[in-house]
Structure 1
Amino acid sequence: MASQVLSDSLVAGNNTSDLISITVEFTGGLELLFSNERTHNVSLPAQLHNGIRPNITYLLQYLIDNVMKDQRRELFVLEGNVRPGILVLINDADWELEGEEKYELQQGDNIVFVSTLHGG
């Protein structure tokens, strides 16, 4: 399994204590949108410029801007949210149990995006 370590350019300074590391996984064909890599290790700022923690909404935009190589963004995000038919798991729990896009990311989180729609 390949992994890619990224850091956010919005982080003030180079202090690694200002970062949180999370693992993001793509399955069910979504990995095709992300350089055919299922697993990405991502470093994000522990706090954003407004003092709040990054959430799933922030992660989605970060993934589109920094990780996604495929131009077909509408296959992953539609109207600023995860496209219908994509299951999101936060630490093996359905994201609906965790607050969906408002969930604040924590050090060591594992976020999985699973496409449940397949062609036939």
Structure 2
Amino acid sequence: MGEQQDPSADEVGCKLISLNIEFSGGLEMLFSNQRSHRIQIPVKDSSEQPANVGFLVRHLCENLMKDKRKDLFVLEDRIRPGILVLINDADWELEGEEEYLIQDGDTILFVSTLHGG
């Protein structure tokens, strides 16, 4: 299970990227109370651009988020302030944030740093 897989193709021949997505700090409640997800996304977005983190966030909201409170994860289609994003254990600010091009086998962690008081 820990092996990287080559990009596969879905039923219509679209190449896919396999990713490990993790949520913590309370964000898991928005995603069926599940902390870890193994997902596949298309290699390219609808405009034929390579898949980046911005595309991944939209994909997560449309396809993986079961909770209606999308605003706890995104604000104006961008990751909400107060959410730390790590790409392969590195702060996404070092990787280009939303513009980082997703690679097969990447692990992306979303951590809420916001706490009620």
The one-letter code matched in structure 1 to 2:23 is F
Which stretches of structure 1, 4 residues or more, deviate above 4 A after TM superposition?
none
- State the TM-score, normalizing by the size of structure 2: 0.86
Query: Does the 8 A contact of 2:19 with 2:107 survive in 1?
Result: yes
How far apart, CA to CA, are the structure 2 residues paired with 1:105 and 1:12? 21
Task: For 2:36 and 2:105, locate their aligned partners in 1 and report how far apart those are by CA, in whole Å.
Answer: 14
Structure 2: distance between partners of 1:81 and 1:68: 15
Q: Does 1:95 align with 2:92?
A: yes
Alignment of 1:6-17 (within 5 A): 13-14=12-13
Query: Cα RMSD over matched residues?
Result: 1.5
Which stretch of the first structure deviates more once superposed, 46-55 or 91-100? 46-55
Residue 44 (structure 1) aligns with: 41
* Cα distance in 1 for residues equivalent to 2:62 and 2:90: 26
Equivalent of residue 27 in structure 1, options 21, 24, 28: 24
Q: How many pairs were matched up? A: 108
Contact 2:45 2:55 in 1 (8 A): no
